[in-house]
Structure 1
Amino acid sequence: MGRKVTVASCSLNQWALDFEGNSKRILRSIEIAKSQGAKYRLGPELEICGYGCADHFYESDTLLHSFQVLKDLLESPVTQDIICDVGMPIMHHNVRYNCRVLFLNRKVLLIRPKMLMANHGNYREMRWFSPWRQIRQVEEYFLPRMIQEVTGQDTVPFGDCVLSTKDTCIGTEMCEEMWNPDSPHTYMGLDGVEIFTNSSASHHELRKADQRVNLVKSATTKSGGIYLYANQRGCDGDRVYYDGCAMIAINGDVVAHGAQFSLDDVEVISATLDLEDVRSYRGELCQPQMGNEPKPCHRIKVDFSLSSCDDIYLPTHQPVEWLFHTPEEEISLGPACWLWDYLRRSGQAGFLLPLSGGVDSSSTACIVHSMCVLLCQAVEDGSREVLQDVRRVVGDESYRPQHPRELCGRIFTTCYMSSENSSEDTCSRAKNLANQIGSTHMNINIDMAVKGILGIFSLVTGHRPQFRAHGGSHRENLALQNVQARVRMVLAYLFAQLSLWARGRPGGLLVLGSANVDESLTGYFTKYDCSSADINPIGGISKTDLKSFLLYCVEQFQLSALRGVLAAPPTAELEPLTDGQVSQTDEADMGMTYSELSVIGRLRKIAKCGPFSMFCKLIHMWKDALSPSEVAQKVKHFFRMYSVNRHKMTTVTPSYHAESYGPDDNRFDLRPFLYNTRWSWQFRCIDNQVSDMSAGASKQ
C-alpha cells in the first residue's frame, strides 16, 4: 500500500575530537538501522566531531576533519539506500553554524543549520556558533572540493528547509529548538510535515528525564505526526553525562525508546509506523494556514520512498510505557557510567579514594561499586567492547571479571587516613564498607607527616600553634585543621601514582574527590585538601540525596555497613577528640543544616535570589520553624560564608553535573570570586525589613 515507514534513531557515545572513533560508531549505527529495515537514520547533535569540542570549534582543523569524515561516510557502502542524517559544524559565508547534513546514495540532499541556540547553564553555543535567522529561507552552499568529487554536486540547499520524499515530508529540529516556546515543529506541522526529527546533546540531571519525554509527546499531541529523538550518550570530555533516551513517538504516544544509562557505545531503536495514522489524526484537528501566516516551508524533493508497496502485512509499533528511574537509581547509574568513560579513556588503571567512613566518601565508593556491577553485567550480556576495555584497564588480556566485588579489588583502592584526631568508629566504618564492596583497602597514619610540617614551621618562626581545645586562637585552630587536610591530599596522590608500582602492577590511579554540592556552596572544605582530586562523581549532588542513595545501596547491593555511616553525624575529625569521642560536626561548623543549604542553593542559582530576595522568600518557607530575625541570620551567615570562600570554586575538582544549582565556577556558575563580604547595603535592607515586621507585629 506504500504508507508504512520504518525509521531509526540513535544514542551514540561520541567523544570530542575522536574523529576516527566517532566515524566508526556512526557507521555502526547506520548498519544496525538498515538491518532493522529503516530507511531513515537520525543521529545525535554534532556527532561527527563530538558536541563538547568547545573552543576547538574555532579551529579550522575541526571543520576540515569533519568534512573528511563526511566524505568517508558518503563513500561507504554502508550508507547506501538509507537517508542518513548526521551532525557537524559548517562555515557558510564565513559564519560558523551547528548543522545537520542529510544525504542519500552519495548525494547531499540538504544542510539545515540550527536556528535557536542553547546558551544557558552548561551551554555556550553562541560562543562558537551563530543561529540561522532567515526563517523558511534557503541559500546555495558551495561544497568543499573533496565532497564535490564524491557527489558530483557543486552546491546544495542550505537553510530552513524540509525534505519531501515520494511518500512523506520530513522536518528537522535540533535540541534547544524543541525546548523553545517557538519550536519549528509547530509551523512545520501546520504546513504538512509528517515526520519531525530532533538531534540532541541533552545532559543528565536528577529528575529531568520526564521533561524530555513530555516535550516529545506534546509536540505530536498538538497536531499529530511522528517524532524521532536522538541523543548523545556518555562523557564527551567534560563534566556532564549525556544519558541517551532515544525515542520515537506518534500522535502523542511513545512507541519505542532506548536506555537512559548504558555502557553500550551504540544503541539504535527503530519503529514501523503508519502514515495514515498521522493523516487521520490531523484530519480532525488541523486547519490550513491563513493568508497572513509566514510562507510555507521550503521543500527539497528527493526521488526516494521510506515505504514500500507491499507493506500491508508489516506490523506497526504500539505505545509503550516509560518507566523512569528514581533519583537514587539515577545517582547509582549516571555517575557510574561517567566514571567508566573517564577511566577507560584516560589510560589509567583504576581509582583511589580517601575513604573517611562518612556519607560523602562512602557515596563515592558505592558509585564505583555500582560501576563494577554494570561492567560485570555488560560482560555477562556479551559486550565485547566492555570486556576489551576492562582487560585494557587491568592490564591483563586474559582477564574476565567474575563478580563486582572481585573486579572492585582490581581497579579500586581505598585508604583511611587516620590522625590522632580520628575515632575508632570512622576507621571501622571505612574498613567494613571496603570489605563489603571488595576494594583494596589501606590504613595510613598521617601524624608523622603533620608533625614534620609543624616542626618546620616551629623551627623557622619559633612558635608552635595549638588547637582551640588546648588554648590556641581561632587562626591556629583553623591552620592545624588545614594542615591535616592538605597532607591527606599529598598522600592520596603519592599512593595513586605508586601503590600499583609497589604491588608489581603497571599503571596509575585516578584520585576521586568526595565533596558534595552543599559543601561547595559554602566553601566548607579546605582548598587543596583531599577534596582536591582528579574528578568528583558527587560534586553536583546534595547531602540529602546522597543519604537517600546510601539507603538505596543498603538494599540494592546488600551493603549493611552503610547503616552505621548513615547513623553517624557528619564530621571532618580535624579537631582533638573529647574523651575519645568526636565533638566537631559539619552542621555546627557551617551554622546550618544540609537540608537548609539545599533550599538556599536552589534559591541562589535557580531562582536568581540575592540576599534580600532570598530573605523575603524564606520568611514564608520557614515561617513554621524560624522567626524573621532567625531567617535573617541564616541568610546573612550563608552569604558571608559563600563570598568569603567563593575563591575555592576556581580550583574545585571537575565534578559530575547533577543539579541545576551547582556552584562550579569553571563551567556552570559564572560569578565573581572576590566579593565585598560585608554585603552592607543588602544586609541593611534585610535588617530594615525585620524591624518593620517586628514593629507591625507589636501593633497587632
Structure 2
Amino acid sequence: MKKHGFARICAAVPVVKPASVEKNLSAILELIHKAKSDRPDLLLLPELAISGYSCSDLFRQNTLLEKSKKVLQSLTEETLQLDFPIIVGVPLLVHSALYNCAAVLSGGQILGIVPKIYLPNSNEFYEQRWFSSGRNIRENTISLNHEIIPFGTDLIFQDENNPLMRFGIEICEDLWSPLPPSTFLSLAGALIIANPSASNELVGKADYRKQVTSQQSARTIGSYIYASAGPGESTTDTVYGGHTLIYENGRLLKEGDRFQTQNSWICSDVDLEFLEHQRISSPSYSQTIDFESLPFRTIPYKGTASSRDEEGLQRLVDSHPFVPSSEEDREIRCREIFSIQSTALAARLMHIGCKTAVLGLSGGLDSTLALLVAQEAFTRAGLPQTGLQCYTMPGFGTTKRTKSNAQLLCEEMGIPMEVMDIQDICTHQLKDLNHSGEPSDVAYENVQARQRTMYLMNKANMMGGIVIGTGDLSELALGWCTYNGDHMSMYAVNTGVPKTLVRYLVQFVADRQKNRKAAEILYDIIDTPISPELLPPDRQGQIAQKTEDVIGPYELHDFFLYQFVRCGFGPSKTYYLAKKAFEDHYEPRVIKDWLKKFIQRFFSQQFKRSCLPDGPKVGTIALSPRGDWRMPSDSDPEIWLKELEETE
C-alpha cells in the first residue's frame, strides 16, 4: 500500500469524563490498543481528550492542569511501543497563558504541540474565558518534562519512511473561521489536515459540519480527518455526539456513527499520491503559494516502514468510476450530461446559423445517443425536427437487427431517414485497389467507415448542414475509430462520454419516452452487442465482430483511463487497484493483459486525438488536444510497459 502512496488514517473517540484525567487516560489507552490492530499511520483523538472539553472553570484549577500534563507524559511513554503518531488534545499552561492544544506523540516523544487559534465565545461557547489564542505566541518552543518541544501553529509533521505522509493540525473552531489555518498548512505542503474537535450536536449541525469539512478538503486538495468529543462530555447544557469523518479531496471516505456510548474509531486509506498529483495539476494551487509568507517548520518522525498489502485496502475502489452507483445519482448525472451535450450542439447550430444536421445511424449505442442529443438540441434551438436528417448505410457486416432498429427508431420519432447501401461501391473500390475482397485486413473494414463518412460529408454540403459525430471518449482513448472515417465530423457530441456511461444515457431517455414503441426499440439497442459491424455476420445472421472480444472489456478500459488520466497513476498502481476493484470478475492475468493492450493503444493512437473535431467536455476527463490532453503522437510507451511487466 505504501508503495502506491496510501496512508491509513484513524479518527477515534474515547469515552471520557470531564476532569476525570486518570480514567480518561485508561479509556484512551484502551482505544489505542484496539485501534492499532488496523495498523494506522496516524490516529486522531478529540479536542482536550485528556482533561475533557467541558470542564469550564475547572480549567483554572492548577490541580487539573498539572494532572493533565502528567497524563500527557504517561501517554507519551506508551507510544514507545507504537509505530504511528497520535494526536491528542490537552490544556497546557505556557508562561501564564493557558492554551487549548493538540500534542503529537510518537516513539515515546512529544514531536510538537499546536495551540488553537480561533476561540469561540458566543452562545454555548466561552473558550476565551479560559484560553488564550495561539495566533500571536512569542515562543516557538516550550519546555515540558525537561524536553524542548516545538510549539506553534506553523508545524507540519512528516514521516521519514513515507515522505508523502505530511500532516498539519487545526483545532475545532479554526476550521469554521473565514480563513482556516489549514489553508496555509496545505499550501506549505501538508497533504493531511487533522482536526481534534469538540463540536456539540444541534439539529442539522452534523450535515453542515460535513459540508464545511468536505469543502475545505476540496479547496485545499487534501485529506481532512475530523474527530469530535463524544457523549462522555458533560450534558449540562450541550450534547457531544463523537462525530468522526475522513475526507479526500472533497469526497467522504468514512463517517462514524454518532452518539456511541463506548470507545469507537473509524479507519480509511487515503491516497496521498492522488492528492499530490491533483495539486501538481492545479495551476491555481501553485500560483497561490508564497513561501516567504509561509515560514512553516517541518517536524520529522519515523513511522512504520512495513507494507500491509495482505490486509487489503480500507477504502472503496470503484470498478466503474464514471458511473454513479446509486440509481438516484445516476439519474442526476445523466440528466446533466444530456443537457450539456444538447445545449452544446444547439449553441453550435445557432452560432453558425445552421438549421440542418446530418447523422449516420447504425442502430448501435453511440449513434443512438447522438440522435437523441441532436433531437433535443433542435428543440432547444427552436429548429424544426425535419432539419435533422439520418442515414443508415448497411455494409458488409450490418445485421437485420441493427438496420431495423435504426429505421424503426427514426420512424417512431418522426425523424427523416434514408437507407444508402454502401456494399456495391465498397466492393468496387476494393476491386480498384486490387484487393481480394475478402475480410483479410484492415482495409476491408476501413473502406466502409470512410465511405460512410464521405457520404455524410457530401450530403451535409448539399443540404447546407453539418455532420454530427458519434464516437465516444473510450473509443478515442483506444483509437477504436477509422482515421478520417468515423473519426471525423463537424461536431462530435459524444466526445466526452465514456462507453460505460453511454448505455445509461440512452436508458435515461428511454425511461422518459412517452412513445412506448420508441422506448422498446431503445431498450433493444441497449441490449445489442457493441460492434462496428465491419465484418460479415455469422451463419445465423448475428453480429460476429464484437468489439470487446477484440480490444477487451470497456469496463476495464474505462477504469484504466480514469486512473491514468484523471489520477495520473502508472501501470503498477493501476493494476493494483484494478485487482481490488475487479477481484470477483477477472483473473489478475486477464487484467494485466488488457492493461498492456490499453497502454499500447493509448500511446499509438494519439495521432487520431491530435486532430479531433470540436465536441463538448462533460466530465473531468477529456482528450481534446485543445484542452485537457496534450501528448506527442510519437511518444514512447516503453517505460510504462516495462513497469507493468515488472509488476507482480
TM-score, structure 2 normalization: 0.46
User: Is the radius of gyration larger for structure 1 or structure 2?
Assistant: 2
